[in-house]
Structure 1
Amino acid sequence: MHPSSTLPSKGLIRQPALCQWLDVTRSGLAKLKAKDSTFPKPIKDGDARQAAAYYVVAEVEAWLQAKIAARDKAQADSSEGATQ
């Protein structure tokens, strides 16, 4: 994953750019969304199935921060249990 400084300054990011930012394929993103119900929902540009999907950059960043915080908490909890 790239640092947030490389994110576009606009509020929305298209699905292909999101895949590139998260370093996943389209199918990898689909699996991530299916596995993790907390992943931000896209905003579709129309009703057609092929309509472009956009994601709110701030929501994706918040999701990433929550994942990082959960990881750090799990690591801290496991290291505390090992020292007791």
Structure 2
Amino acid sequence: MHPNTTPPSKGLIRQPALCQWLDVTRSGLAKLRAKDPSFPKPIKDGDSRQAAAYYVVTEIDTWLRSKITARDNVQGRETEDSKL
């Protein structure tokens, strides 16, 4: 994932563009969604399985920032522990 990449300026992003933004494959995105219940849910454009899936850009950006913060907090604690 590229956390320093600026999120798209639109309110919604289609799944293929989200995969490109996060630098994951479609199956990688599916695994991420299955593994992490905090990952934002898509908005489907219809009832069929083939209907386009959209994600709210601000939800994805918030989720990504929370992951970065959690990572930084863990790394900060590890650094503090190594000083002891």
Q: TM-score, normalised by structure 1?
A: 0.93
1:49 maps to 49
Paired residue for 1:65?
65
The residue type paired with residue 82 of structure 1 is S
Correspondence for 1:76: 76
Matched to 2:5, the amino acid is P
Amino acid at match of 1:39: F
Q: How does 1:8-23 map to 2 (within 5 A)?
A: 8-23=8-23
Structure 1 residues without counterparts, runs of 5 or longer: none
Distance in 2, Cα, partners of 1:10 & 1:82: 43
Distance (whole Å) between structure 1 residues aligned to residue 72 and residue 59 of structure 2? 20
Partner Cα distance (2:8, 2:67) in 1: 21
Q: CA RMSD in A?
A: 0.9
Q: Which runs of 5+ in 2 are unaligned?
A: none
1:23-70 deviations in whole A, cap 9, x for unaligned? 000000000001111100000001101100000000000000000000
Q: Displacement of 1:10 after TM fit?
A: 1.3
In 1, distance between residues paired with 2:53 and 2:61? 17
Name the CA distance, whole Å, in 2 between partners of 1:8 and 1:72: 24
State the one-letter code of the partner of 1:62.
Answer: T
1:8 positional shift:
2.6
Alignment partner, residue 24 of structure 2: 24
What's the TM-score, normalizing by structure 2? 0.93
